[in-house]
Amino acid sequence: MRTLKYGKHTDTKWQENWERNGIYKFNRENIEKKFYCLEMFSYPSGAKLHVGHWWNFGLTDSWARVKRMQGHSVFHPMGFDAFGLPAENYAIKTGIHPEDSTMANIATMREQLRTMGGTFDWDHEVVTCLPSYYRWTQWLFLELHEHGLAYRKEAPVNWCPSCNTSLANEQVEHGACERCNAEVTKRNLTQWFFKITAYADDLLAGHEEINWPEKTKAMQKNWIGKSTGATIIFPLEHQAETIEVFTTRADTLFGCTYLVLAPEHPLVKAVVREPFGEQVADYQEQTKRQSEIDRLATTKEKTGVFTGSYAYHPATGERIAIWIADYVLATYGTGAVMAVPGHDARDYDFAAKYHLPIVRVVQGKDGCDDSLPFVADGIVVGSSAFDGLTSEQARIAIVEHLHSQNGHAHFTTTYRLRDWLVSRQRYWGAPIPIIYCDDCGVVPVPASDLPVLLPYNVDFTPDGQSPLAKSAEFVNVPCPKCHKRAKRETDTLDTFVDSSWYFLRYPDNKNNDQPWDIDWINKLLPVDMYVGGPEHAVMHLLYARFIVKALKDMGYVNFGEPFKALVHQGIILGADGEKMSKSKGNVVSPDAYIDKHGADVFRLYLLFGFNYLEGGPWSDDGIKATARYVERVERVIERATEKMNHVGESMGGAEQELNYVLHRAIYGITQDVLDFGFNTCVSKLMELTNALHRYDMEAPTKNGPFVRHVTENFVRLLAPFAPHLAEELWASLGHSNSVHGEAWPQHDPKALNRQRIELAVQVNGRLRDKIEVASDANEDEIKTLALQAEKVLPFLTNTIVRKIIVVKGSLVNIVLG
RNA sequence: GCCGAGAUGGCGGAAUGGCAGACGCACUUGACUCAAAAUCAAGCGUCCUCUGGAUGUGAGGGUUCGAGUCCCUCUCUCGGCACCA
């Protein structure tokens, strides 16, 4: 008999026991039944685990535990996304080196994760800031470079003139620096890119084969922004060059009354004719100075200037004006558009403001309102030979016509997706393994020279250059090819590069010869279930898919998608319903609750109190209730244990009822847990607890062996959701093995059929009475009983029964009149 | 503006087109107690002429024997994208 109630001491006792016995070590042998369950690894920020970690790791752990008990060989590793800006910013503020603070944070978090009682296999831990890991991040860079997927070009970076440093997009909030709030400007630097655009179509096609939330796939689809249309070429009046535009509305070509170039368009210089040179230059300058804030303002009135020159309309030969305007983006399509003010709202605004001609070339179908600007599809008019065609037909016909005439049009596809800028002018990241030699040019560091170690003693206070550039011993290096003096690349890699392949390293994390053993990883991957926040829908999740596709093409893996199934957990809010944040003072720290109630109470509360996919506001009342439930479980099981030596093998009404609840719980939990319906799993455990209690109170005699059977199955069902408590209860039932090695209970369909069932009786769809029938009663018997039901009879006078609908096991509906 | 998700008691939340509100919190009543807590038993959407009846899942229509669930229109909330040609 146990005297001590469940509490933190129970957690400690079993955590030590599990560790000693290594019960969560991944079994490499049983690979046929492997199940790779992964949570997005965390950034070792503050020292302590917060509710969000518990919510993601603890609850997915319960899910993984069910898989284990169902006989899967679950691979459930854990690691740390340890490079990144917060540590560096913290260092700038406090002087504590990022490596020191990060490693200290990791040590604390690791310990705290252990107190969760998770099934993590720490033998496979990965820490991205260690040379043994980033060596292979650098290898990945070199492989991409060798295959033409990493390249250099000049690109603007966000620049904070006050901090004197470049900023990542994440550090720019509403056009201002997140640290000092100064207005962020742009600066051009030559930087490294990964050619993710080469995989745009593959990334779209891959969505078909993965079990992800539709919402997330839709976000990626929008992000990639595939758009099919045509490129149309406009000859210039005075120059040999031509202007190419991209359009999805070639059907409106005859409505094009002017052209607009982006102010940054390379042809602007060639096109400008006096006396417009000065105003064009001014406008370009003005655009450049424009801050992010202004650019983001969509309500802003459109502006632009005339360049002084003209192009010829490729279909009509008409002379049309060329303007520049900042509503045309240099980075999308060709950086130039054909303006069709009659059928495009933006062009319409612009044309109206600057008095440019507006003509109709599309009419609405079946008399809908087609006042200009009319942007929907319709019937083409005013377009010579193409009149009368639908927009859909004209889009094809016009392009084909121009193409065959003089090649001035062809079908094109463009994407919104940009190549991935991976250079960071920062210290705390993996150095880019490239050397610049005056003679040999850009020279990749030979793979045998990896890792390029990140030096410890570096002045990383921001002063406008990459911190590594200030370390002479880092920068100066002999060229690997000609051995003359050369210089290292001083930028580091975006931390999203680290996290885009970490799941590939887990299975083979100690391999010093290669990033992974190909055969082994092909057996363990892809990840079967990936759980993490929806905020990563486009960045991390898209990058990881891209990297895996590239690695597949390079022959390093044989699968094309890293994450077969994906689930986004919701967010736990503060008690005030707001997002938890230090400034709002609504942060809930798990530690105090765990000290007081134990880890399982905390876990059970999270499991029970919310819908996992939605989250919700924290409640102290809820956790008190959960602590009471745990006490109730202990009481009920203690009472049950006292009954276990009662003789008796009869399955009377009370036994059958309890058995019914048991099997309904087994069935329900097995179903619900599959799609993370944890709250209903716990509610079914509660129902079973209540049923056990009722049996104890009400059954005239107790069937000892049956009570043991029910109790043991209850503890098995409880095990994934309250691992320490269940282990303790299991031991108290006289077992010396771990409950976590037990098989998941199977429901007996026969037990789910009760002998007599209650049916609702409706008259014209409204509930009037209830009848009790044998569960195997046939329809005629049920109908007869229903028509005789006491409260139904008054409705049957002076009318006829039109039909009777019987829904087996549920209700009868008598339709009258 | 576009795309996506959602709206159910005082609260968290359940409901393969079939008895709305499972399970729990809070609350009310009773038992135990000198008393309180805990525990145990019971009640608990709203309204009414209250052993009964009406009504009820953001609003309004529709399909159906039957709608929280399906269809149409609208309101609001949240998330994402945002001059993408």
Say if residue A247 is in the same domain as residue A330. Answer: yes
> Helices H, strands E: what count in chain A?
26, 33
Average pLDDT over residues A223-250: 93
Please indicate, yes or no, whether residues A731 and A798 belong to a single structural domain of this protein: no
pLDDT at res. A239: 87
A680 CB neighbours strand B below 7 A: yes
Supply angle C-alpha A402, A405, A410, rounded to 5: 40
Quick one: pLDDT at residue A296?
A: 53
Question: In this structure, is residue A58 part of a structural domain?
Answer: no
pLDDT for A566: 95
Nearest residue to nucleotide B38 when comparing alpha carbons to its C1'?
Answer: A628
Protein CA at A554 to nucleotide C1' at B82, angstroms:
36
The answer on A709 and A655 residing in a single domain is yes
* Calpha distance A542→A218 (Å, rounded): 12
Question: Model ipTM?
Answer: 0.94
Least confident of A491-500, A649-658, A671-680, A732-741: A649-658
**In one letter, which amino acid is A693?**
H
Structure tokens at A387: 């009149």
Are A337 and A440 contained in the same domain?
Answer: no
* Nearest nucleotide (CA of A296 to C1'): B82
Residue A623 falls within a domain, yes or no?
Answer: yes
Residues with Cβ within 8 Å of A38's Cβ and at least 6 positions away in sequence, in order, are: A76, A77, A503, A506, A527, A529, A530, A531, A563
- Which domain does A446 fall in, by range? 143-195+419-495
Query: Are A733 and A765 in a shared domain?
Result: no
- A546 within domain boundaries: no
Do A608 and A710 reside in the same domain of the chain? yes
Q: How far is the CA of A683 from the C1' of B9 (A)?
A: 19
Mean pLDDT of the region A509-516: 95
Whole-number Å distance, CA A450 to C1' B37?
67
Helices (H), A651-718: 653-674, 678-698, 704-718
Residue A766 lies in a domain: yes
pLDDT of residue A526: 96
For residue A1, pLDDT over 50 is answered with no
Reduced to 3 states, what is the DSSP secondary structure of residue A661?
helix
Q: Are A724 and A598 in contact (CB under 8 A)?
A: yes
Q: CA A249 → CA A232, A336, A356, A391, distances in Å?
A: 11, 14, 20, 8
- A754 pLDDT more than 60: yes
Residues A185, A188: Cα–Cα separation, whole Å: 10
Q: What is the mean pLDDT of residues A403-416?
A: 92
Q: Is residue A148 predicted with pLDDT exceeding 90? A: yes
Give the tens place of pLDDT for each residue, A337-355.
999 999 998 999 999 999 9
Residues A282 and A314 in one domain: yes
Best mean pLDDT range from A239-243, A628-632, A769-773: A628-632
Q: Which pLDDT belongs to residue A587?
A: 86
Residue A687 Cβ < 7 Å to strand B? yes
Residue A579 has pLDDT above 90, yes or no: no
* A692 shares a domain with A784: no
CATH value at residue A789? 3.10.20.590
Considering chain A, what percentage of its residues have pLDDT values greater than 90? 65
Q: How do residues A169-195 score in pLDDT, each as one tens digit?
A: 656 666 677 667 777 777 888 899 999
Q: Is residue A24 part of a domain?
A: no
- Give the pLDDT confidence of A94-119 residue by residue, as tens digits: 889 999 999 999 999 998 899 999 99
A454 neighbors A110 (Cβ within 8 angstroms): no
- Strands A420-421, A185-194: parallel, antiparallel or unpaired by DSSP? antiparallel
* CA distance to A188, A225, A266, A311, A688, per residue, from A280 (Å): 21, 31, 13, 17, 78
Q: Over 70: is that where the pLDDT of A507 sits?
A: yes
Are A473 and A440 members of one domain? yes
Distance between CA atoms of residues A495 and A468, nearest Å: 16
The domain boundary, picked from A751, A779, A800, lies at A751
User: Concatenated DSSP letters for A712-757?
Assistant: HHHHHHHTTTSHHHHHHHHHHTT--S-GGGSPPP---GGGG--SEE
Rounded distance, CA A361 to CA A366, Å? 16
The percentage of chain A sitting over the pLDDT mark of 70, rounded to a whole number, equals: 96
Domain end position, chosen among A354, A381, A414: A414
Q: Which helix (H) or strand (E) holds A63?
A: helix A59-69
Sign of CA dihedral A452, A455, A458, A461: positive
Mark whether A407 and A387 lie in a shared domain: yes
* CATH number for position A641: 1.10.730.10
Strands A529-531 and A34-39, bridge-based pairing: parallel
- Strand B interface, A 402-431, C-beta < 7 A: 414, 416
The string of pLDDT tens digits covering residues A457-491 is: 888 887 777 889 889 999 999 999 999 999 999 99
* CA dist., res. A547 & res. A196, Å (int): 8
Structural domain count, chain A: 4
Q: Are the C-beta atoms of residues A184 and A177 closer than 8 Å to each other?
A: yes
CATH number of the domain at A352, please: 3.90.740.10
Nucleotides of strand B under 7 angstroms from a protein beta carbon:
3-5, 11-16, 18-20, 22-26, 38-41, 52-55, 65-67, 79-85
**Using the CA of A791, which nucleotide's C1' is the nearest one?**
B52
Tens-place pLDDT, residues A274-311:
899 999 999 988 887 765 555 555 556 888 999 999 99
Identify the CA nearest to A516 among candidates A85, A106, A183, A133: A133
**CA→C1' distance for A349 and B30 (Å):** 75
pLDDT of residue A162: 75
**For the residues A266-274, what does the mean pLDDT come to?**
91
Q: Is A779 part of any domain? A: yes
Asked whether the beta carbons of A34 and A68 are under 8 A apart, the reply is no
Determine the pLDDT at residue A294.
58
Does residue A298 approach strand B to less than 7 Å at its CB? yes
